[in-house]
Chains A and B, each alone.
Chain A
């Protein structure tokens, strides 16, 4: 049944938007399998409430999503697919993630950083100053990653989970081509609650193919 795009009330304080890089099939499969095992072995459900993705932007906006999509499109136009290097699991705060921020030689993946910075600049005018979540990842804090276990509870479990994830290596291919960028609406009943992820749900709103 063909249907319309989902209605999203941007003014709803429960609504956030995610601009995400979609991994390749092989990477998505490996990440989804790790999410499932994190839930089965450690009861860690947060990362698996999301689709496999690398966050480019996560933010709140009062603009209709079509306006957000219209702003993102020119920032992506003409950009080729991004070759992403997977450096394996690392700790990031209370999370365990795959580090995809760097090239083989250890320098920042310039194409990924440029994609992030361009879309961030395009979206910034559509984000009011008084919103709670302007951008979780401003340019200077951007560190490209794919989350395996998010804000681990209890926090003392993080190092064990990191060691467990490293036992699973290689988690996905060492290198993949990211060819799609997705815009999602992401909704939680209470982003400030300890259990914000328990009520998480999301919808794919728009997709762009790079190149």
Chain B
């Protein structure tokens, strides 16, 4: 991995850093999601900048501020992920979140029931990371977690002008199918993020670095 204390130290005890723990989609899913991010940006401009500022991912533990050592987070996740196996994710297509976001719903399995593997992966990783969350974290208190967790792959995020939402949602639906109907979830990643404005329009200046990767069942 080439990990070193120096690389992690750059993110530690810095109030301008947030961390996130994500499921990485398969190649085919990743390619289609990234292509749509790029096309939305090309066709509609900076209105759509936020989703593509991220790598393709499904959030397991969303943005959190922490003063903990990155090595301690990795150790906690090592323990939490032991015994977690790769599993099949079902792509249920794009759905709207209000009038600002569009996501691919991957919360349910083939039968419309909550996918127990992704729900469990969320719960064990959330429980492992929660003790590291800074008391003044501005994201974790409003996060959809536990029973309100909803696994998704974001296509459009935080559209600043809701009057364009219906057109963008229709454009995205024209792109269907976006990615394969099913893919194997095998890898999870810990990231560090920086933004110039964590309480405002953070997507415009978002940058990130992968800190660690785990292969499920590996």
Asked whether, in the complex, the Cβ of A32 is within 8 Å of the Cβ of B161, the reply is no
Interface string of A1-41 (1 = CB under 8 A from B): 11101000000000000000010111011001001000000
Q: Known: A2-B161, A51-B45. Contact between A28 and B39, CB under 8 A? A: yes
Judging by beta carbons under 8 Å apart, are A32 and B39 in contact?
Answer: yes
Q: CB-nearest residue of chain A relative to B42?
A: A32
Q: Does A52 contact B (CB under 8 A)?
A: yes
CA of A2 to CA of B160 in the docked complex: distance in angstroms? 4
Q: CA of A16 to CA of B171 in the docked complex: distance in angstroms?
A: 26
Inter-subunit contact B39/A204 (CB<8 Å): no
Complex Cα distance A3/B100, Å?
11
Could you say which residues of chain B place their CB within 8 Å of the CB of A207? 163-164, 167
For chain B, the bracket of interface size reads 20 to 34
The prevalent SS among residues of B at the interface is: helix
A117 at interface by CB-CB < 8 Å: no
Which of chain A's residues 173-211 have a Cβ closer than 8 Å to chain B?
180, 202-204, 207, 209
Q: Tell me, yes or no, whether B46 is within 8 Å of chain A by CB.
A: yes
Contact B171 A25 (CB under 8 A): yes
By CB atoms of chain B within 10 A, which of A5, A26, A28, A202 has the most?
A: A28
- Closest-CB distance, B96 to chain A (whole angstroms): 15
What residue of chain B has the Cβ atom nearest to residue A32's Cβ?
A: B42
Give me the 3 closest cross-chain CB pairs, A-B, nearest first. Answer: A25-B174, A3-B160, A32-B42
Which residues on B are within 8 Å of A, measured CB to CB?
35, 38-39, 42-47, 100, 158, 160-164, 166-167, 171, 174-175, 200-201
24 A-B Cβ contacts within 8 A? A1-B158, A2-B162, A3-B161, A3-B201, A5-B161, A22-B43, A25-B171, A25-B174, A28-B39, A29-B35, A32-B39, A32-B42, A32-B43, A35-B42, A51-B42, A51-B43, A51-B44, A52-B42, A202-B45, A204-B45, A204-B47, A204-B164, A209-B166, A209-B167
